[in-house]
Every structure is written in structure tokens, then in C-alpha cells.
Structure 1
């Protein structure tokens, strides 16, 4: 399946990092955003990652998964979130994920620096 979805998977991984770097550049010129009152335990950087994950949030039925795996050239939604984020040094830093944990593996797949 990875071969069928590799170009889209690469686009997900590079797109989220490009978006994050653009957000960091925006902060340089506009100053860091304040914390949202009801979500105060999360930093603005953490909310960036959370918003990406929420974009792909969906309930996948068994029939839907079967259709995805046999007919379409897309990765399951959960992988479109987990894989780009677990390979992102920025995500691991922002959430303080321990080295070697699921969301901060020692060996990361990097497409570009």
C-alpha cells in the first residue's frame, strides 16, 4: 500500500512542515499569539499541530476502510496524521515527546530539511 500512496504521503509530510515554518515566520513579524482562555494548557505551537490532526478526524467504518485499502490511492486518515507528526522534530519539541517514544522515534524519515 505504501507504494500506492507514497506521493500523497510525501505531500502530507512536506506540507505540514512548510505550514509550520510559515507560521513560525509569521510569528517573527507579528509576535507570538496569546493562549486561548479555554485551551490555556496548550501553547499556540501545540494548537497548530492539534488543528492539523482535527482536520483528518473521522470515523472510518469497516466498509470504508476496505474501500480505501482496495480501490483508492489514499492512506487512512489516522496515518495521514501520525506519520508526518511522528517524523517531525518540531512536533516532538513542541509536545516534549520523549526520545524513542511512538511520536518521537529515534530514526525519523525526513524528506527535506
Structure 2
């Protein structure tokens, strides 16, 4: 499954993945981070949750923010802009204990910076 040059959506998905990987590497380099006592999420879980907050919207709000009707065909659905990078990062799956083969921890992943899934 090659994602390069398939559609603009594929390019956007790969860019989202590469951006999240780079951000996660910077986050990981911070070392120990404080735990928020009132939240039931650890620092890594909060990192991944925060990476998707920008995609949270109700349908009417999402539609109002679009510039053109072609935005969806260029960028894909908002939920995939969140899920595609996350399900292709092993660190996410480990942080949330996703079972191997589940929707958010598929056995074939698209590694950051490449166009072919990693079937390891």
C-alpha cells in the first residue's frame, strides 16, 4: 500500500503523522513531566489527547470553518486527521494499552517518513 502521490488526502495524512512524530520526539526529550493529580491520564496520554483537540468540532461548527466545499476532498474527514497519525505510532498504542490488531493498533503501520506500511 503506497500512500505517496495517491491523493492529496494521503499527503496530508503523512504530513500529520510526520508532524506528530516530530512533536512526540521533542516531548519525549523533556524527561520526566509532572502528573496532574485530578486527571486520570498520564503525561504521554495527555500528549496524544492534546494532539487531537484541534480536530474536535460539532458538525455545524466544522462546516462553518470550511473555506470551500473542496476542503474535505483535499484534507479528508476531521476524525481521520486525528486517528491516522495515532494508529501509526507505537508510542500511542503503548500509552493507551491498545491490543495488537485493534483499530488503533493495526498490525500494518505506515512508519513516519515512508510510504509503505511496516508489517512487523
Fold agreement, TM-score > 0.5: yes
Q: Give CA deviations for 1:34-69 in whole Å, capped at 9, x if unaligned.
A: 211221x211011000111112111124x93xx79x
- Structure with more of its chain in helix, by fraction: 1
Task: Describe how 1:70-85 pairs up with structure 2 within 5 A.
Answer: 71-72=70-71, 73-85=74-86
Task: Describe how 1:57-76 pairs up with structure 2 within 5 A.
Answer: 57-61=56-60, 64=63, 71-72=70-71, 73-76=74-77
Partner of 2:103: 102
**SS where residue 38 of structure 1 aligns?**
coil
- How far, CA to CA, are the matches of 1:112 and 1:25 in structure 2? 20
- How far, CA to CA, are the matches of 1:111 and 1:53 in structure 2? 18
The alignment's TM-score, normalised by the length of structure 1, stands at 0.80
- Deviation of 1:80 after TM superposition, in Å, equals 0.3
Runs of 4+ in 1 over 6 A off after TM superposition: none
The alignment's C-alpha RMSD in Å is: 2.3
The alignment's TM-score, normalised by the length of structure 2, stands at 0.76
Partner of 1:54: 53
Aligned residue-pair number: 104
Structure 2: any 5+ residue segments left out of the alignment?
1-5, 115-120
- How far, CA to CA, are the matches of 2:51 and 2:112 in structure 1? 19
Structure 1: any 5+ residue segments left out of the alignment?
none
Task: Indicate yes or no: 2:19 matched with 1:10.
Answer: no
